[in-house]
Amino acid sequence: MADWADYRTRDLTPVNEPSTDEYWNKSLSEITGREFNVKSGGSDKFLDFIAKELIPFIESNYRVSTGERCLGGYSYGGLFSLYTLFTRLSSLLNTLPEALPSHLEMDYCSIWKINLLQPIRILMQSCA
Q: List the chain domain ranges.
A: 68-128
CA nearest neighbour of 103 among 78, 71, 72:
78
In the DSSP assignment, the letter for residue 107 is: S
The secondary element (H helix, E strand) that includes residue 83 is helix 76-92
Q: Which residue has the higher pLDDT, 83 or 116?
A: 83
Q: Which residue has the higher pLDDT, 8 or 93?
A: 8
The pLDDT of residue 114? 45
C-alpha distances (whole Å) from 34 to each of 3, 10, 26, 29 are 11, 18, 10, 5
Spatial contact of 49 and 12, defined as CB atoms under 8 Å apart: no
The pLDDT of residue 30? 93
Residues 20-65: tens digit of each pLDDT: 899 999 999 999 999 999 999 999 999 999 989 998 999 999 998 8
The pLDDT of residue 3? 86
